[in-house]
Amino acid sequence: MASHLKDVLLVGFGAVGAIYSLILKRSGVARVTAVARSNYDAVNAHGLYIKSRKYGELQGWKPDRLLRSVAQALDRPYSYVVITTKAIPELIRTSTLLEPLLQPEYADKYPQPTYVLMQNGLNVEVDLYHALKKLNASEEPRIISTAVWIGTGMLNSNTVEHSEFDRVSLGMYRPTTTNTENTPEETAILEDFAHILAAGGTETTVVPEIQRVRYSKNFWNACLGITAALTRFPLTAVFRPPHLAPGASQTAPPPPEPSSPSQEPQTPSALATADIPSASPAISAYAIPLLYDAMNEVYALGTVLFPPSESGSPGIDPDIVHKTLVNTSRLHARPEANHRASTLVDVENGRPTEVEVILGELVRMGRREGVPMPRIETFYALMLIIQNQLLQQKKASL
């Protein structure tokens, strides 16, 4: 049986990497080598303690091999190299992280693997794509890009908490968004990796154009996740009415005071979001309409980048802004809601954030396409101040 296993190298052993290494191993068809950079010692000594509502409690779990660095993993060819690190180019570029695999010593000995990027944000594939083209200009790089929805977090260096869901959309990265169909070869690559993930228990969807799906997911990260990081409060602070807060009497909310902001003339954005639950009348009048307007800037750029096509591409869902607000408010208004956006968790823990791939890329694409994004640019400018401090603190600690 061992000879039929596919070797998979997974780089980044945080919350997402830990759960997906488990899923890959559970498939029964993958032999998993994981690179744990910051938490190698803890995982090597004790294994992972995985507390998952979906996969159960696992004490002392380990992949087939655990290594400190990519440089230690050069003893074999890999079918797939999965990158689950956070995309923070100010700290390390993907091509630098994977440099040992891109050196002639390795590349001349073994065929290049298919690379799978399981990271938030936009244009995270560009750097690796160019590095692979430089390595072999005659071959089109095989890069699977993904959009991952998962509820997971690290409680300490080797304890992972995971909810009941994880799903992933997969598509081939292409440097242009005009080609929206997979070739038979691309379909075979995508279906093979999707089969491994599905056999391990995750929900998979193979899509013809992954960039549109990634862009749609970034609405949430760029506006809602970033708002949590900027305010230093989870999204319950935006969407949970006081009567639904833990410990409050679960009665209907009191009518607004005559002088409250809800009595002022309402803007079109406030009227459009009037059905969204909120933590106060003022938040309903000002904060939620701001989020609506910011997401509409992202939508306006999306219609330029991903127009509907004759080949059947639907473009960006015209109802995505309202749907995103409704779904998020529904989840965060509940008394038991305790989700903390990953960007907020990074800021709380003094870790640099993914601001460049979540917001910076939007701002740069907006300027390139001539689409004004004043609210997104404001979020970006404020996050850059936070990011600068976090980067300085990280440098000082090294």
How does pLDDT run across 111-130, given as a tens digit for each residue? Answer: 999 999 999 999 999 999 99
Residue 315's pLDDT is 87
How many other C-beta atoms can be found within 10 angstroms of the C-beta atom of residue 222?
Answer: 30
Residue 105 pLDDT > 70, yes or no?
Answer: yes
Could you tell me which residues come within 8 angstroms of residue 70 by beta carbon, excluding any fewer than 6 positions away? 9, 11, 35, 97, 98, 99, 100, 101
**Angle, CA of 357, 219 and 267, to the nearest 5°:** 130
Residue 338's pLDDT is 87
Residue 254's pLDDT is 58
Q: What is the pTM of this model?
A: 0.91
**Angle, CA of 142, 212 and 371, to the nearest 5°:** 120
Which has the minimum average pLDDT: 9-13, 233-237, 250-254, 272-276? 250-254
Residues 17-53 have pLDDT tens digits of 999 999 999 999 999 999 998 999 999 999 999 999 9
Cβ atoms 272, 280 nearer than 8 A: no
Residue 176's pLDDT is 80
Please tell me which residue, 258 or 14, carries the higher pLDDT value.
14
Strand ranges for the chain from DSSP E:
6-11, 30-35, 48-52, 56-61, 65-67, 80-83, 114-117, 143-156, 159-172, 203-206
Cβ atoms 196, 116 nearer than 8 A: no
Cβ atoms 321, 336 nearer than 8 A: no
* Closest C-alpha among 312, 307, 314 to residue 181: 312
- Highest mean pLDDT of the ranges 176-190, 328-342, 380-394: 380-394
Burial of 109 (0-12, 13-18, 19+ CB in 10 A): exposed
Residue 256 pLDDT > 60, yes or no?
Answer: no
Residues 49-67 have pLDDT tens digits of 999 999 999 999 999 999 9
Domains and CATH numbers, the chain: 6-208 (3.40.50.720), 214-247+266-397 (1.10.1040.10)
Which has the minimum average pLDDT: 162-171, 243-252, 289-298? 243-252
> Residue with structure tokens 């995505």?
320
Rounded Cα gap, residues 94 and 87, in angstroms? 8
Could you tell me which residues come within 8 angstroms of residue 161 by beta carbon, excluding any fewer than 6 positions away? 15, 51, 52, 152, 153, 154, 155
**Angle, CA of 119, 20 and 26, to the nearest 5°:** 160
The helix/strand/coil state of 1 is coil
Q: Output the CA torsion 188→193→194→198 (10° steps).
A: 140
Residue 107 tokens read as 């590349």
Residue 313 pLDDT > 80, yes or no?
Answer: no
The band of 339, judged by pLDDT with boundaries at 50, 70 and 90, is: confident
Residue 1's pLDDT is 43
* pLDDT mean over 160-188: 89
Rounded Cα gap, residues 393 and 389, in angstroms? 6
Cα Rg for the chain, rounded, in angstroms?
22
- Highest mean pLDDT of the ranges 68-72, 303-307, 315-319, 394-398: 68-72
- Residue 73 is given by DSSP the state G
Residue 129 tokens read as 């794509």
**What are the backbone angles phi and psi of residue 131, rounded to the nearest 5°?**
-65, -40
Which has the minimum average pLDDT: 48-57, 187-196, 259-268? 259-268
- The DSSP secondary structure of 41-63, one letter per residue, reads HHHHHH-EEEEETTTEEEEEE--
> Residue with structure tokens 């950079």?
37
* pLDDT mean over 265-292: 95
**Angle, CA of 145, 147 and 148, to the nearest 5°:** 120
Residue 258 pLDDT > 50, yes or no?
Answer: no
- Residue 277 is given by DSSP the state -
Rounded Cα gap, residues 256 and 54, in angstroms? 42
> Mean pLDDT in the chain?
93
Please tell me which residue, 46 or 2, carries the higher pLDDT value.
46
Residue 66's pLDDT is 97
The band of 309, judged by pLDDT with boundaries at 50, 70 and 90, is: confident
> Residue with structure tokens 């590349």?
107
Residue 87 pLDDT > 80, yes or no?
Answer: yes
Residue type, 259: S
**Looking at beta carbons, which pairs linking 258-265 to residues 24 or more positions away fall under 8 Å?**
261/285, 261/286
